[in-house]
Amino acid sequence: MNSIAASKEHTNPYLSHRLFHASPQPPKTDQHFTFQSVIIRQDEYAVSLLAHKFSGVTSSTGKLITASPSPTTSPSVNTAAVLNAAAHARNAATEKAALKEVLPLLEKRPNDVGLLLTIMNLYVLTNHHAAATHLLESFFRRLEQSGSGSDLDVRFAPGLVAALVSLYAHQGRHSASKNELAKAAEYWRKPHKSDSDAPSKSLMTAAGTALLESQNQESLTAAGEIFGSLYSQNKTDKAAIAGLVAAYSLTDPAQLPSELVDSLPQSERLLQGIDAAALEEAGVPSLAPTSQHIQSEAARKRAAEHKVPVKSKRIRKSRMPKEFDPDKKMDAERWLPMRDRTYYRPKGRKGKKKAEGLTQGGSVETEKERVKTEVQTAKTAPGKKKKAKGGKW
């Protein structure tokens, strides 16, 4: 079994599967420890997947996932969930094909942390970081609404918080990263419903550092409390000392003990050998162009110099109209109707009146109205007499 696990070549996965299961089992009085049995079981699942025994892996890992509480941060259970998703994907050729097979499982097991992380990883591999972020945010909201102590421990688990902060950082959402770290630090710093211990200082240090960057009064106070709790746990922690001094030096310097301030290096020693006047006269430095930038610029110039002129497309004779003159300039308005062209001038009075009616803002007088207007004009015109009755004037 050890020789199979240590080998880097998998020429025959079916033979590896046979040899793995042919190894002798330990007696009942000499069983493996839990961490050993978990690793051996994971190796068994991996060998079975290489041998295309997807149904067996799906059934075995499914029983293990169902028997454990959900959600959980147990590594063995979450690893089994990842292998279960791989068995459902059935060695899919692409990440998109694997997503299509694995996504329906999330509807059946919405609180499966291992399955959730697997789908998030597939989203990241396909450059859908926003979808991965939305998936984890929705999972956190469900856990917050439940109000259970175990659910809240999973919600503020350092690994899941770090995953969300990494996604925020990739999208440039720095304020969201700070808020998430502050919420996690606030949860673990105050008494909570479960008996879980606070995580390692890495999460608290990252949260305190993010709060220090905001330069907000409330954020600085919270950062001071975080670094104060870290300093009470370890008096020699340099990160806690530096964070505590940085927080209280801006909010309440009187709370800083003198031994904390003296433990930090003096500013004169840090600035020794630096000429501030020379730096001010030098101004803002400009970065020298790198060799790669110079090569790319030279290549661009050579490409511009040797650019081949584009040849005009030749029209077939069969597609040319009759009496076509290639030297004659084509009419730019040949695609427009004749009455819409700028050089169109209708002939005759009737044509002009009709053209005016077709243009925007022109007269819309009809032919009957025009005749009626001419008759009225003739009746009221001066110098004309009405015709007498009987044909006499």
Q: What is the mean pLDDT of the chain?
A: 79
Q: Output the pLDDT for position 163.
A: 92
C-alpha angle 280-284-289 in degrees, rounded to nearest 5:
145
Residue 260: inside a domain: yes
Is pLDDT larger for residue 73 or for residue 36?
73
DSSP character at residue 24: P
Enter the tokens of residue 55: 């149904």
Tell me the residue range of the domain where 246 lies.
200-266
Instruction: Give me the numbers of helices (H) and strands (E) for the chain, helices first please.
Output: 20, 0
Residue 207: inside a domain: yes
Cα 128 from Cα 277, distance rounded (Å)? 49
Residue 243: inside a domain: yes
Whether 61 shows a pLDDT value over 80: the answer reads yes
Residue 296: inside a domain: no
Residue 294: inside a domain: no
CA atoms within 13 A on the CB side of 349: 2
The average pLDDT across 357-367 equals 53
Cα 148 from Cα 119, distance rounded (Å)? 25
Cα 252 from Cα 220, distance rounded (Å)? 10
The highest-confidence range among 144-153, 311-320, 365-374, by mean pLDDT, is: 144-153
Summarize pLDDT for 32-46 with one digit per residue, the tens. Answer: 777 788 888 888 888
Q: Output the pLDDT for position 113.
A: 93
The average pLDDT across 84-109 equals 89
**In which band, very low, low, confident or very high, does the pLDDT at 334 lie, cut at 50, 70 and 90?**
confident
Q: Output the pLDDT for position 220.
A: 82
pTM score over 0.75: no
**In which band, very low, low, confident or very high, does the pLDDT at 393 lie, cut at 50, 70 and 90?**
very low
CA atoms within 13 A on the CB side of 338: 3
Lowest mean pLDDT among 61-70, 142-151, 228-237: 228-237
Cα 212 from Cα 209, distance rounded (Å)? 5
Is pLDDT larger for residue 11 or for residue 117?
117
The count of structural domains within the chain is 1
Whether 7 shows a pLDDT value over 70: the answer reads no
How far the first Cα of the chain sits from its last, in Å, is 137
Residues 6+ apart with CB under 8 A from 198: 188, 189, 204
Is pLDDT larger for residue 307 or for residue 135?
135
Cα 161 from Cα 203, distance rounded (Å)? 9
Q: Output the pLDDT for position 25.
A: 78
Residue 345: inside a domain: no
Residue 285: inside a domain: no
Summarize pLDDT for 173-208 with one digit per residue, the tens. Answer: 888 888 898 888 888 877 766 767 666 678 888 888
Residue 329: inside a domain: no
Cα 223 from Cα 131, distance rounded (Å)? 31
Residues 6+ apart with CB under 8 A from 180: 161, 164, 165, 168
